[in-house]
């Protein structure tokens, strides 16, 4: 599971873990990532990492009136817990 994830993947899961259940848009996730450990991360990198996490069923995209939002799944929560990160 997480052994195939990059630090960006893990940080995105952690950011989603504490967020609202209605999800966060990429712009907010990008700002959070830059404030934390991933200062040089770009929007395309975040979007690619979110798609990678979605392919693993760890996050899911939500369509909202304000644009695309991303929410962590139950599997994402349990993966963080198994790794001692949540």
**pLDDT tens string 29-56:** 888 888 877 788 898 998 899 999 999 9
What is the reported pLDDT for 52? 92
* Span 61-79, pLDDT tens digits: 887 555 678 888 899 989 8
Reply yes or no on whether the pLDDT at 57 is more than 90: yes
CA atoms within 13 A on the CB side of 79: 23
Positive or negative, the CA dihedral 82, 54, 69, 49 is: positive
pLDDT value at residue 2 = 44
Percent of the chain with pLDDT over 70: 87
Please report how the helices 26-35 and 43-55 are oriented relative to each other, as an axis angle in degrees rounded to 10.
Answer: 110
pLDDT band at residue 1 under the 50/70/90 scheme: very low
Q: How far apart are CA 72 and CA 62, in angstroms?
A: 10
């Amino acid at each position: 599971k997480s052994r195939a994830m990059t630090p960006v993947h893990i940080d995105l899961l952690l950011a989603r873990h504490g967020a609202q259940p209605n999800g966060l848009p990429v712009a907010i996730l990008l700002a959070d990532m830059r404030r934390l450990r991933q200062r040089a991360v770009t929007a395309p990198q975040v979007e690619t990492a979110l798609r990678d996490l979605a392919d693993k069923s760890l996050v899911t995209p939500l369509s909202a009136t304000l644009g695309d939002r991303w929410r962590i799944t139950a599997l994402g929560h349990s993966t963080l817990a198994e790794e001692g990160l949540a």
